[in-house]
Structure 1
Amino acid sequence: MGKNFARKSIDPVGESKPRIDAREKVTGEGLYADDIQFGNKLLHARIKRSSYPHALIKKVDISKALALPGVKAIVTGDDFEGYIGLYLKDRHIFCRDRVRYVGDPVAGVAATTEAIAEQAVALIDVEYEPLVPVFDPEFGASPQAPLLHPDLGQYAVASFILPEAGTNISNHFKIRKGDVASAWGKCKAVIERHYRIPHIQHVPIEPHVAIAKVDEDGEITLWDSSQSPFAQRDLIAEALGVSQSNMRVIAPLVGGGFGGKAGVSMESLAVAIATKVNGYPVKLLLTREEEFYTAFVRQGMVAHLKMGCDESGKLLAMENTFYWDGGAYTEYGVNITRAAGYSCTGPYEVPNVRADSYCVYTNHPVGGPMRGFGMPEMHAGLEQCIDDLARQIGMDAVEFRRRNCLKANSILPTGGRMHPTGLSECLEKAAEAIDWGEKSPPSAPNKRRGKGLALMWKAPAMPGNAGSSAWIKLAEDGVLTVGIGAQDLGQGAFTVIAQMAAAAFGVPYESVRLATPVDTRYSPYEWQTVASRITWSTGNAIIKAAQDARHQVLELIAKAWDESPDDLDIVNGMVVSYKSEREIPVKNFAVQGLPKEGGKGWMGGPIIGHGNFIPSDVTGLDPETGQGEHAVVHYTTGAQAIDLEVDLDTGRIEILKGVAAFDVGKAINPELVKAQMEGGLVQGMSSALFECLKLKDGYVQNPSFVDYRIATAADIPKIVQSILVEVPQDDGPWGARGIGEHSMVATVPAIANAIYNAIGLRFDGPPFTAEKIYLAMLDAGIVKGSK
């Protein structure tokens, strides 16, 4: 299906990128130029997928397909017994006993051409026995729902994930803080709301593609555009029962990911097929339709929110319940559920909290991580409730937030204390940027104008031992080569890494190059490029590696000059002495070393610095109360504000101005930070106004860009303003925190609050399409017409 067109990666930061040599470029693009790298040995794979949302597999007949000329191998669930999964190992590579969503892989074919592989897939006969499906997470969590994973109690699971055996609940995270029951009687106002957040797709421009090869000696190599090459290596190797040292992942430039290329989705299929055709590379490329059906989606969610405050506007209690539609297998979904649980109050100090966050199996596509990791979904309703609660007691929404938002040493829902944060400043600056409190006229008589804002917070959702490492080696010309395991998804990670390495060692930015593509055999370990943690976590490892190399340089020169290292420095690639005023270029000794005095041999030698970083103070949480001293490493906080117009004739929304203000700790590269803030706002706007994966009885109804709309350049607000607030993070490189995901978290509620300000209507969830807005205005009598 479709042709294999050669593609070219476009660097988002143009000429400012670190240099990558020609050999590395060929390797990096080899995934697409497979006719060059693999020649005519390349086999093409296609997958036989379930057409039922839930069914037992009675029989898989591959005899006709095997007889087709050009077919080299066919694999089924009978070939692979192991389970795979990041936090909860709940799925086989190929289905063995039952299928759980439309698109579940049942068999895989490797053939000499893609057309033959497609033909073979059609010849595979699968006999099913349909089972009762589950399509609603709230129902799925009830005792009445059929069990989708009867063996849930036997699955291997991370210690901080709490599945409930005998149910469809793959994780149940709880917060129990204070006395919620007694707090309601002290409240002047109480708000209860229900919201339903739809599934959305990551829709990267480049679909998933992977090439796998197993050598004659059994060593496995996987080439794929991955956010998680080390995690893929570990998970696939474990599922296949092979050593991680015999599994190698090479990850060229990713392009778009947004979380959809994290972990393992389709990559294990290519590897499994390749194990049956040793010596032949096997390529699996998802069609766009398969992207919608079978790649990770952002989970749907049903939220029940209740909150109350006293007469002064002080929040007293929250009681929130989240039902996450984890899909057929919960992969990252269980940790998204956890993240929503420990962040359940939003960025507010609330003394009494009760929260239940459930990840629920359904017969929908597999829920995975997407930009924001559950925070956009959770904040969507919560921040609308904050507006409504303020209105109910007659208080301005900005003032209400000012009184309640987190500050340094505020008590968090998990019982710990908030680190220093610039959230209040973000709120003030965002409100000021849209002239909050001033009534602005609409541009035409048939339009209504409204303003809205919302706050957010987000922590890196990761295990406490998620580590980073780096190495730095000096070349004969004084250039630093930096080894990393992190990926650049367009967020500018490679640029910032090069900047940090240059600054920490003491050379110009132009004197740094990165050892890419990431190759798990040679690159230093990186947990994953997720959680907006690279600048912070990898940055710390880079600084340590640079300091290690720098220490070696200064010790060597101090010995050669008989001076103290404390009197030496490295500036623009020159070692200088503030005591003797001597200087020497680093390139003069970086590899060859220096001669000893009197010609008595040499000292020094090739210089390589090493560094690693792992969070040292994250503590566990009580499984019954969610209380603990230090649940996460830190929070990034911020605000977004929207000025928009609603067309009364069509219901169309036009965003006149979008404002983003975030506390980033320290902006290592201010322009890249602003670009992330702008891009996140537009992506958040896309999910607010357009995006919805329409599912009917488990079948995707809009699996193409014809029917699944995303924001384009034509939809971008006329004005987008990015505001940097910098309150340093104590353990961040130069005080930096992440910003990649945060910039789309508050967009949906900010737009929803602006819509309410314009026309006085609330909706139970996005997208706020023109049709939905117009029909609601008709029902409310705001406009007159006929449906």
Structure 2
Amino acid sequence: MTLVMEGRSEGAMREAGYRYVGHSPDRQEALEKVTGRARYVHDMELPGMLYAKMLHSPYAHAEILSLDVSEAKALPGVKAVLTGRELPYLLGLYMVDKPILAQHKVRYQGEPVAAVAAVDTRTAAKALSLIKVEYQPLPAVLSVEEALTGGVLVHEDINTLDYVKGVFFPQPNSNIASWHKTIKGDIQKGFAQAELTIENEWRLPQVAHVPLETHVVIVQADPYSPKVKIWSSSQSPFAVRNLLAKAFGISRGDITVVVPYIGGGFGGKAGIHLEPLGVVLSRVCQGRPVKIQATREEEFNQLPTREGLRGRVKTGVTKDGKIVAEEIYFDWDGGAYADYSVNVGRAAGYAGAGPYEIPNIELHSRTLYTNKVFGTAYRGFGHLETHWVIERQMDLAAQALEMDPYEFRMKNLLREGATTITGEKITAHSGCVDQCLEAVAKEIAWTGYQSAAEREKAFKTGKVRGKGLAVLHKAPAMPPNTSTSAIMQMDEDGTVRLLLGAIDMGQGAYTTMAQIAAEVLDMPLEKVKVIWENDTDKNPYDWQTVASKYTFMGGNAVIRCAQDLLRQMKEVAACVLRCPVDELTHGNERIRHIQHQDKAIAFKDLALGYAYQNGTGIGGPLIGRGVYMAEGLTNLDPATGQGLPALDWTYGAHGAEIEIDVETGEIHVLKIASAFDVGQVINRKLAVGQVVGGVIQGLGSALIEGYKYSPEGRLLNPSFTDNKIPTAKDIPDRVVPIFIENPQRDGPFGARGVGEHPMISVPSVLANAVYDALGVNFYELPLSPERIVSGLARQKE
């Protein structure tokens, strides 16, 4: 792979006066990881630790008639056997609908029905084989069509489930876990003005997260008090604490969640998963620590996945290419439990039309219960899925108009002064999607679709090439009152220890926060130490590490924290130097007088309080605090979806060039150019890593990944044997990250997040390039060789 980087140079950064922001220092934890010293929960062993295994349902939907665990309990080395009958708890982020173990019936194949804790994993596995379960299979809901008919209910108790009211909208006596509506303008009037209407349906399957480190947790519950300590591979320690407290009716202060190094998450480790089972097993075992470590098959078959989707779009346009009306239905295959799926559906409600100005729109986003593995957050949070639908629809609209898809998009993109589908006005500080599209089109030398004659000529060679374009946008999907915080403590030598509530799971968040702190304090980066292990008893609060929100929110909190530390130092220094505080500045690890540069005090001499020559001291240990809460956001109107859901928008675009073997159907990606208006690059090397990693992960969804089920609802590809992800052989020949920097006025140094965005619209841009190469449109993912060959065969018929 050839990697080409474009954007503002480091020389330009220095000229702008930046010292660390915009540069590319190595990640703070790099040495720990490459030497193997980094400790993960997988590595941990505690004295007296037990090991847990789970028994999984072979049925997608069935009543549990009987469950006999007597032989398992009698096996030497077994310390506990639990079933759902003993656990009357329900859990849920937004809808409280999920038991720890299946109670009266199972709702997906792979759902755990019993758990064993034993002295070792071999004994636990043997005990599982001794458990006898009798099931009565029930009809299974295995598609969005079956879910919408409501003939079989996945949750008969949907009418009584607890949920976040006013934000999510379960429909009574149905399989609709939540129904979000966005209405702007007059849809009927808009379609009456349309001179051409384009209507299509698109689909994509569930996809696994596949972090390098599987889910793992160790729990130790105090046998003499409600106190619980948890070590978890989690993106969301404070959410785990909150949800456990709610489920078990105990104080948040009695729950400690510790997250050491974490080997990837991609959204699959947000929320709560294995922790509750660990709590109840440890309690039954009189407080012995219990470790639950998911196998790779359990990652596929039991733990949450990305939702499947059926999208239907009707677009009305004028002959000169302006969109005047659009009707969209997103039907999400959310699986057996709501988890994050309902919030994915909510995000699709306000972002699902893409970065286009549409005067008249009606958008329905319905999260549906089915008897499949349940869905959750996944990198892009539904935006890869919705942009698969929208960006393919935009190309087909251009085809129907016989218009260049670049020109068609440019006519309709959101720009300054436009309003989004929820009524938010785009300002000069919102970023520029048109600049992103222009940049990638230039990079791939876009000149429009090939002619039929050009395609026919290329077919004779056996290899055909095509180019495609696609745009994207995403804002952090989070509640209006989301907040984060930071704490700094200065040591005697002037070193700053930075404590954060967020989790660095490989994205480099801690390194960028150290850069921001060093920039504000104007001190050497190596003297800013981020404390790696996250502990809810010690670290300051952060909502969750999701939504590409942390560079923006955490960066602002760290800036305020550093400013608080400076304020304290200046107040003490003003006393020592006998001058007003506003006459002091800082730089080179010193507080100094603006006018008299020789009047200065080193940071380290203020760290624990300043000592006069006679021994008198003033000040004290320096501890800074900084908080940031999302500002100006609102809940959305339940009837129309109008409101302000977006903290900031990051816009982007992809341009791709591919080559297809017409005999085998294999797609080879020659080049992808990916442009993002990030406001300000904080760490160029980390930003490039996000783009390259996101593009390659997007290739998996585009070309090879997807769950397959039997007619009875059994997952057919629960392992790497049949459920593959991209390897080094699948990397494009060239990846061109392009960073456009229109600063976000309220962002840290103008920055916006870019963690999830590179994955969004990758399937769309490849399918658009496939059309350019073959003259064939595809409406379902993945774009496997079999699907390509079948599409070519249909074209010849």
TM range (shorter): over 0.9
Q: Which residue pairs with 1:744 in the alignment?
A: 759
Q: Which residue pairs with 1:152 in the alignment?
A: 158
Q: Deviations over 1:283-318 (max 9, x none)?
A: 111111111101111000111111111122111011
Q: Using the alignment, how far apart are the partners of 2:696 and 2:29 within structure 1? A: 30
1:475 aligns with 2:491: yes
Q: Which residue pairs with 2:148 in the alignment?
A: 141
Aligned residue for 2:169, secondary structure, equals coil
Tell me which of 679, 691, 697 is aligned to 2:693. 679
1:303 aligns with 2:303: no
Tell me which of 212, 232, 242 is aligned to 1:224. 232
Q: Which residue pairs with 2:136 in the alignment?
A: 129
Q: Which residue pairs with 1:48 in the alignment?
A: 55
Q: Which residue pairs with 1:244 in the alignment?
A: 252
Q: Deviations over 1:138-196 (max 9, x none)?
A: 320224x2111121122221131111121111100001211112222221221111011
Q: Which residue pairs with 1:423 in the alignment?
A: 433
Q: Deviations over 1:391-417 (max 9, x none)?
A: 222221111111100112211111221
CA contact (8 A) 2:24 2:685 kept: no
Tell me: CA distance 1:339–1:467, structure 2 relative to 1, closer, same or farther (3 Å). Answer: same
Q: Which residue pairs with 1:588 in the alignment?
A: 604
Q: What is the TM-score when the length of structure 1 is the normalising length?
A: 0.94
CA apart distance, 1:267: 2.6
CA contact (8 A) 1:228 1:261 kept: yes
After the TM superposition, list the runs of 4 or more consecutive aligned residues in structure 1 that deviate by more than 6 angstroms. Answer: 19-22, 25-28, 438-444
1:395 aligns with 2:403: yes
Q: Using the alignment, how far apart are the partners of 2:379 and 2:49 within structure 1? A: 34
Deviates more, 1:650-659 or 1:149-158: 149-158
Q: Using the alignment, how far apart are the partners of 1:518 and 1:30 within structure 2? A: 12
CA contact (8 A) 1:19 1:513 kept: no
CA apart distance, 1:202: 0.6
1:108 aligns with 2:115: yes
Q: Using the alignment, how far apart are the partners of 1:693 and 1:775 within structure 2? A: 20
Tell me which of 80, 93, 116 is aligned to 2:87. 80
1:33 aligns with 2:43: yes
Instruction: Report the residue type matching 1:197 in the other structure.
Output: L
1:203 aligns with 2:210: yes
Q: Using the alignment, how far apart are the partners of 1:98 and 1:244 within structure 2? A: 31
Tell me: CA distance 1:302–1:205, structure 2 relative to 1, closer, same or farther (3 Å). Answer: same
Q: 1:489-508, aligned counterparts within 5 Å?
A: 489-508=505-524
Q: Using the alignment, how far apart are the partners of 1:752 and 1:624 within structure 2? A: 35
Instruction: Report the residue type matching 1:614 in the other structure.
Output: M
Tell me which of 295, 305, 308 is aligned to 1:287. 295
CA contact (8 A) 2:336 2:372 kept: yes
Tell me: CA distance 1:443–1:157, structure 2 relative to 1, closer, same or farther (3 Å). Answer: same
CA contact (8 A) 2:42 2:293 kept: no
Q: Using the alignment, how far apart are the partners of 1:657 and 1:752 within structure 2? A: 14
Instruction: Report the residue type matching 2:216 in the other structure.
Output: V
Instruction: Report the residue type matching 2:693 in the other structure.
Output: G
CA contact (8 A) 2:50 2:120 kept: yes
CA contact (8 A) 1:690 1:710 kept: yes
Q: Using the alignment, how far apart are the partners of 1:730 and 1:307 within structure 2? A: 34
Q: Using the alignment, how far apart are the partners of 2:40 and 2:444 within structure 1? A: 48
1:569 aligns with 2:585: yes
CA contact (8 A) 1:210 1:224 kept: yes
CA contact (8 A) 1:475 1:590 kept: no
Q: Which residue pairs with 1:191 in the alignment?
A: 198
Q: Using the alignment, how far apart are the partners of 2:573 and 2:102 within structure 1? A: 62
Q: Using the alignment, how far apart are the partners of 1:30 and 1:384 within structure 2? A: 41
Q: Using the alignment, how far apart are the partners of 1:242 and 1:110 within structure 2? A: 23
Q: Which residue pairs with 1:5 in the alignment?
A: none
CA contact (8 A) 2:459 2:662 kept: no
Which runs of no fewer than 5 residues in structure 2 stay unpaired?
1-22
1:710 aligns with 2:720: no
Q: Using the alignment, how far apart are the partners of 2:36 and 2:237 within structure 1? A: 19
CA apart distance, 1:28: 6.2
Tell me: CA distance 1:215–1:21, structure 2 relative to 1, closer, same or farther (3 Å). Answer: farther
CA contact (8 A) 1:460 1:634 kept: yes
Q: Using the alignment, how far apart are the partners of 2:24 and 2:571 within structure 1? A: 38
Q: Using the alignment, how far apart are the partners of 2:291 and 2:173 within structure 1? A: 39
Q: Which residue pairs with 2:787 in the alignment?
A: 772
Instruction: Report the residue type matching 2:103 in the other structure.
Output: R
Instruction: Report the residue type matching 1:386 in the other structure.
Output: M
Percent identity between the two aligned chains: 40
Tell me: CA distance 1:442–1:480, structure 2 relative to 1, closer, same or farther (3 Å). Answer: farther
Deviates more, 1:367-376 or 1:261-270: 261-270
CA apart distance, 1:82: 2.2
Tell me which of 741, 744, 754 is aligned to 1:726. 741
Q: Deviations over 1:475-504 (max 9, x none)?
A: 011011000011112211111011011112
Tell me: CA distance 1:558–1:766, structure 2 relative to 1, closer, same or farther (3 Å). Answer: same
Instruction: Report the residue type matching 2:617 in the other structure.
Output: W
CA apart distance, 1:589: 2.2
1:699 aligns with 2:705: no
Instruction: Report the residue type matching 1:191 in the other structure.
Output: I
Aligned residue for 2:95, secondary structure, equals coil
CA contact (8 A) 1:472 1:480 kept: yes
Q: What is the TM-score when the length of structure 2 is the normalising length?
A: 0.93
After superposition, the CA RMSD in angstroms is 2.1
Q: Which residue pairs with 1:10 in the alignment?
A: none
Q: Deviations over 1:337-378 (max 9, x none)?
A: 011111121110000001111000000001011100000011
Tell me: CA distance 1:317–1:30, structure 2 relative to 1, closer, same or farther (3 Å). Answer: closer
Q: Using the alignment, how far apart are the partners of 1:216 and 1:21 within structure 2? A: 39
Q: Which residue pairs with 1:547 in the alignment?
A: 563
Q: Which residue pairs with 1:275 in the alignment?
A: 283
Instruction: Report the residue type matching 2:405 in the other structure.
Output: A
Tell me which of 40, 56, 70 is aligned to 1:63. 70
Instruction: Report the residue type matching 1:539 in the other structure.
Output: G
1:163 aligns with 2:170: yes
Aligned residue for 2:719, secondary structure, equals coil
Q: Using the alignment, how far apart are the partners of 1:167 and 1:69 within structure 2? A: 46
CA apart distance, 1:217: 3.1
Deviates more, 1:385-394 or 1:189-198: 385-394
Q: Using the alignment, how far apart are the partners of 1:592 and 1:682 within structure 2? A: 48
CA contact (8 A) 2:215 2:293 kept: yes
Tell me: CA distance 1:583–1:535, structure 2 relative to 1, closer, same or farther (3 Å). Answer: farther
> Paired residues, what number?
763
1:528 aligns with 2:536: no
Q: Using the alignment, how far apart are the partners of 2:304 and 2:256 within structure 1? A: 23
CA contact (8 A) 1:692 1:708 kept: yes
Q: Deviations over 1:642-695 (max 9, x none)?
A: 001111121111111101001111111122112211211111111101111112
Q: Using the alignment, how far apart are the partners of 1:267 and 1:80 within structure 2? A: 14
Tell me: CA distance 1:599–1:138, structure 2 relative to 1, closer, same or farther (3 Å). Answer: same
Aligned residue for 2:328, secondary structure, equals strand
Tell me: CA distance 1:450–1:574, structure 2 relative to 1, closer, same or farther (3 Å). Answer: same
Instruction: Report the residue type matching 1:169 in the other structure.
Output: I
Q: Using the alignment, how far apart are the partners of 1:532 and 1:346 within structure 2? A: 17
1:234 aligns with 2:242: yes
Q: Using the alignment, how far apart are the partners of 1:567 and 1:136 within structure 2? A: 68
Q: Using the alignment, how far apart are the partners of 2:37 and 2:218 within structure 1? A: 13
CA apart distance, 1:33: 3.2
Aligned residue for 1:260, secondary structure, equals coil
Q: Deviations over 1:62-106 (max 9, x none)?
A: 111111110101122233222111111111112212110111121
Q: Using the alignment, how far apart are the partners of 1:95 and 1:421 within structure 2? A: 47
Deviates more, 1:261-270 or 1:492-501: 261-270
Q: Using the alignment, how far apart are the partners of 2:206 and 2:522 within structure 1? A: 47
Tell me: CA distance 1:196–1:586, structure 2 relative to 1, closer, same or farther (3 Å). Answer: same
Tell me which of 340, 346, 350 is aligned to 1:332. 340
